[in-house]
């Protein structure tokens, strides 16, 4: 019967070493059957057997640590450990770090609110014990009103995730303010051992000049790594939202190769080829050479960023892809442009960003001559969950709001791990998988005897280019038994 590598390097136990040593001693004529427990001869052999077994265990760990497919078994999940040392020395790469969950939050104020300006990181909100802080300066209006802004989790990883509408506690001391997140906050844990192993295995494909499937996904997941052609998108050298999932699809009729990518929270922003920044409204443009563009608000761009203008009327020459020179907080010029009219407040500008950078990595490192390839965001497939959660025991001691928040966050976390195109070859998310995610988050079957879902009513179909995305807060009714 053939042996695999794992079996060959499995260390023997102290008892097995002792048995072997007693057998050898008996062969040499020693009366081993008369040695009772505690007798000096037997104790000496037991000490030696223990030392040999420990040495073999260390040797096995070192051996496993040097083999990619086995190194994960001797590395703590998420690292650091043998696997991290191996991929850094042998594959010239490193584990993708955990990311911080971020989301859009609306603060609503009433007549009692005194208002105020809060610098980045100084306005705090929470879901339970999970805290979030404002990404940029935030002006809270005095009196009745509202303001929206981006908030980021105080801790990295999936533990900082929260479902839509579940961040409702204002931590900062201020009266007359309530909060709610309009988008899910989804953080990703550090790349798992299994994911890191698969990415390293895909690197072998990236060495080929003929563009095998693994080369496209590797160069989407790994950007500006060792032995890769360096790429940039404007001033960006790494995506703000790292790719966590990628798949390649080849058209049987045209031969065009499309790589679909997604980040922890799902699909990248639209339009698909010019993303990473939200759309920013154009206020006006000049009929000059170069065209000077004034934005409706501060743009945050940097000279030499590549910006895409779309939907700008009258001065239509401004539309398209441009390298820009920043001339003010809300102004810039389009290098090499010539206007054809005075443009008003129409259209939007997008800074080239994550998808542009990802596509450049693939084009420069994976696509062979004569092949046409493109990189697109996976299409968001709505995962809308409505159901009844039955709880008992310690789970029933929680408030309805707490149970619903935990379940909602579990759905967002589940969506962040489902591959593009669904689970395995099934192209679906199973209802049982959704139910299990809710049960596990709340303590298991013994505490959550039943999860009945009315939406989705059946296994959720995911298209080949689709990625599960939670855009609407799950709706649950809690029943206690």
**Residue 143: left (phi > 0), alpha (psi -120 to 50), or beta?**
left
The tokens of 189 are what? 């844990």
280-352, what's its fold?
Answer: Elongation Factor Tu (Ef-tu); domain 3 (2.40.30)
Q: Is the pTM of this model over 0.75?
A: no
The tokens of 133 are what? 């802080």
For residue 306, what pLDDT is reported?
78
For residue 370, what pLDDT is reported?
80
Residue pair 132/154 in contact by the 8 Å Cβ criterion:
yes
- Whether residue 213 has pLDDT greater than 60: yes
For residue 2, what pLDDT is reported?
56
Q: List, in order, residues 6 or more apart from 190 with CB less than 8 Å away.
A: 78, 79, 95, 96, 97, 98, 157
Percentage of residues in the chain with pLDDT exceeding 90?
53
Residue spans of the domains in the chain: they are 5-65, 100-181, 193-271+355-377, 280-352, 380-480
Q: Which of 17-31, 198-212, 345-359 has the lowest mean pLDDT?
A: 198-212
- Whether residue 210 has pLDDT greater than 70: no
For residue 481, what pLDDT is reported?
87
- Whether residue 435 has pLDDT greater than 80: yes
DSSP string, 323-335: EEEEEETTEEEET
Confidence bin at 65 (pLDDT 50/70/90): low
Q: List, in order, residues 6 or more apart from 380 with CB less than 8 Å away.
A: 266, 267, 466, 467, 469, 471
In whole angstroms, what is the distance from residue 383 CA to residue 430 CA? 12
Residue with tokens 């299990």: 436
Q: Which of 121-125, 191-195, 350-354 has the lowest mean pLDDT?
A: 350-354
Taken in order 48, 50, 54, 56, is the CA torsion positive or negative? positive
- Whether residue 273 has pLDDT greater than 70: no
Residue pair 261/377 in contact by the 8 Å Cβ criterion:
yes
Tell me what the mean pLDDT of segment 62-75 comes to.
77
In whole angstroms, what is the distance from residue 127 CA to residue 115 CA? 22
From 201, 238, 196, select the one nearest 354 (Cα to Cα).
Answer: 238
For residue 241, what pLDDT is reported?
87
Q: Which of 40-49, 261-270, 280-289 has the lowest mean pLDDT?
A: 261-270
Tell me what the mean pLDDT of segment 8-30 comes to.
87
Other Cβ atoms less than 10 A from the Cβ of 324: the count is 25
Percentage of residues in the chain with pLDDT exceeding 70?
94
């Amino acid at each position: 019967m053939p042996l695999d590598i794992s079996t060959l390097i499995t260390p023997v136990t102290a008892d097995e070493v002792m048995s072997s040593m007693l057998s050898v001693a008996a062969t040499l004529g020693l009366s081993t059957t008369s040695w009772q427990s505690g007798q000096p001869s037997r104790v000496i052999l037991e000490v030696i057997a223990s030392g040999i077994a420990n040495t073999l265990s260390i040797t096995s760990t070192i051996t496993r640590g040097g083999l990619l497919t086995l190194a994960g078994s001797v590395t703590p999940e998420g690292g650091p450990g043998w696997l991290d040392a191996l991929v850094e020395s042998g594959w010239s790469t490193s584990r993708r770090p955990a990311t911080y969950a971020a989301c859009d939050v609306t603060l609503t104020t009433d007549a009692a609110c005194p208002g105020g300006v809060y610098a980045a990181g100084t306005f705090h909100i929470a879901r339970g014990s999970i805290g979030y802080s404002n990404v940029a300066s935030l002006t809270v209006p005095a009196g009745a009103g509202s303001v929206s802004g981006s908030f980021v989790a105080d801790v990295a990883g999936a533990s900082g995730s929260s479902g839509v509408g579940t961040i409702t506690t204002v931590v900062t001391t201020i009266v007359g303010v309530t909060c709610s997140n309009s988008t899910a906050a989804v953080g990703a844990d550090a790349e798992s051992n299994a994911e890191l192993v698969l990415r390293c295995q895909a690197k072998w494909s990236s060495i080929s000049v003929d563009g095998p499937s693994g080369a496209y996904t590797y160069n989407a997941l790994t950007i500006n790594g060792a032995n890769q052609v360096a790429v940039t998108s404007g001033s960006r050298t790494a995506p703000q939202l790292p790719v966590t999932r990628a798949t390649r699809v080849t058209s049987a009729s045209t031969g065009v190769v499309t790589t679909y990518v997604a980040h922890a929270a799902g699909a990248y922003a639209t339009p698909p080829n010019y993303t990473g920044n939200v759309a920013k409204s154009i206020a006006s443009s000049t009929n000059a050479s170069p065209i000077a563009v004034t934005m409706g608000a501060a743009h945050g761009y940097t000279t030499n960023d590549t910006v895409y203008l779309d939907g700008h009327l009258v001065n239509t020459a401004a539309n398209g892809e441009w390298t820009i020179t920043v001339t003010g907080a809300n102004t810039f010029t389009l290098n090499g442009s010539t206007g054809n009219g005075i443009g008003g407040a129409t259209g939007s500008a997008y800074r080239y960003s994550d998808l542009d950078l990802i596509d450049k990595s693939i084009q420069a490192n994976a696509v062979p001559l004569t092949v046409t390839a493109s990189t697109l965001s996976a299409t968001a497939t709505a995962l809308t969950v409505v159901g009844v959660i039955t709880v008992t025991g310690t789970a029933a001691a929680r408030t309805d709001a707490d149970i619903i928040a935990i379940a909602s966050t579990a759905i967002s976390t589940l969506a962040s791990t489902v591959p593009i195109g669904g689970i395995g070859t099934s192209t679906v998310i199973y209802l049982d998988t959704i139910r299990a995610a809710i049960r596990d988050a709340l303590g298991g079957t013994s505490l959550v005897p039943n999860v009945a879902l009315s939406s989705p009513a059946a296994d959720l179909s995911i298209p080949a280019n689709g990625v599960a995305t939670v855009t609407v807060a799950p709706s649950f009714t809690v029943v206690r038994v």
